[in-house]
Amino acid sequence: MKNCEYQQIDPQALTVSPLSVQNHTEKKAQRPRRKWEVFPGKNRFFCDGRLILARQSGVLPLTLGLIVVTCGLFFAFDCPFLVEHLTIFIPLVGGLLFLFVVLSLLRTSFTDPGILPRATADEAADIEKQIDTSGSSTYRPPPRTKEILINQQVVKLKYCFTCKMFRPPRTSHCSLCDNCVERFDHHCPWVGNCVGKRNYRFFYSFIISLSFLTSFIFGCVITHITLREYSQVISHLDSSWCTVVELVICFFSIWSILGLSGFHTYLIASNLTTNEDIKGSWSSKRGAEDSGNPYSYNNIITNCCVTLCGPMPPSLIDRRACGPDCPVVAVCSSPPPPTCPLLHPPDFLLQSLTRSLAVSP
């Protein structure tokens, strides 16, 4: 029988240090945070940063609920009678308008309105140096504005103390969202978002299609009641409260929706924003030689095409990217697996194995 040499296994060589296991686990568990997770504005993000919404968006479910309830009552209680006595195209037209209104509303609510990224620390320091060019302690810095020429008219750029930058033309800081929005129109609580350069066309299509939908339902309900006999009208109103609800909602909303649609049609034709129209940015210059809107093309069709049919500008905040300034976050990970007793045997088992091999022939 051949002699076999056995060598005792050092248990420390097989045992893995708990510190190294912990470091390896933490290395795998940590990942860089995306920009939307550390976004400084007052916004909420969904679907890994793909959808953006204002933090104060409690009116949006009410808007969507009113549209869905009104259309649901119309399709359930008015369309069967109108299809039987008039035409089958009534529910088809109503369905297409309903889908277009809902899609336009959701697109307006969940689209980046044109938020400008805030200045970095180096950019803010460079701007501060440009503003305060004197090292004297008694020196008073000039007003934080810049003047530029647009179509031979002087336009002032104001400094934003929150975003640490000079706002580009037609940009304003929304106090509700705490962001500078490019071509800021207004903050609309009904859609739960700001209305700016990137989602204004969706907002306009929403209010225009909603005007058509409200007028269509209101006219169909009136037609439904008119086609019935007088005695049936009284009994119909007593037995079905749904028609009354539709009439009340449409009657009180159609005037405001039509007025809002007409107002924004005027703004588009003039290439103005709600913010500029309310502040009277260009109407106050009537006494000056260079009066008027410097952004207007002096043509209604051109103004409409530029506002509604121009190319969609990209989002500037790049919310799904992992920036160098984003901190590292540790995600929850499973604890390390238990040590296998065969690979890491206890000391008493190694000692007994050594003694048995020493006495064996």
Residue 184 and residue 109: Cα distance in Å, rounded?
15
**Known catalytic residue at 242:** no
Residue 322 and residue 142: Cα distance in Å, rounded?
38
Residue 103 and residue 209: Cα distance in Å, rounded?
10
What is each CA distance from 140 to 126, 135, 147, 159, in whole angstroms? 18, 10, 19, 16
Shortest CA distance to 268 belongs to which of 219, 301, 232, 230?
Answer: 301
Residue 148 and residue 161: Cα distance in Å, rounded?
20
Q: What is the 3-state secondary structure (H, E, C) of 124-142?
A: HHHHHHHHCCCCCCCCCCC
Longest dimension (CA), the chain: 118
What is each CA distance from 30 to 108, 207, 326, in whole angstroms? 35, 46, 13
Amino acid at 348: F
What residue ranges in the chain does DSSP mark as E strands? 30-32, 43-46, 51-54, 145-150, 153-160, 165-166, 172-174, 179-181, 186-188, 193-195, 328-330
Token output for 200: 């204004």
> What backbone phi and psi angles, to 5 degrees, belong to 149?
-105, 125
The catalytic residue among 174, 188, 194, 220 is 188
Q: Are the beta carbons of 197 and 108 closer than 8 angstroms?
A: no
Cβ neighbours of 281 (radius 10 Å): 17
Residue 52 and residue 162: Cα distance in Å, rounded?
20
Residue 144 and residue 344: Cα distance in Å, rounded?
70
Q: What residues act catalytically?
A: 188
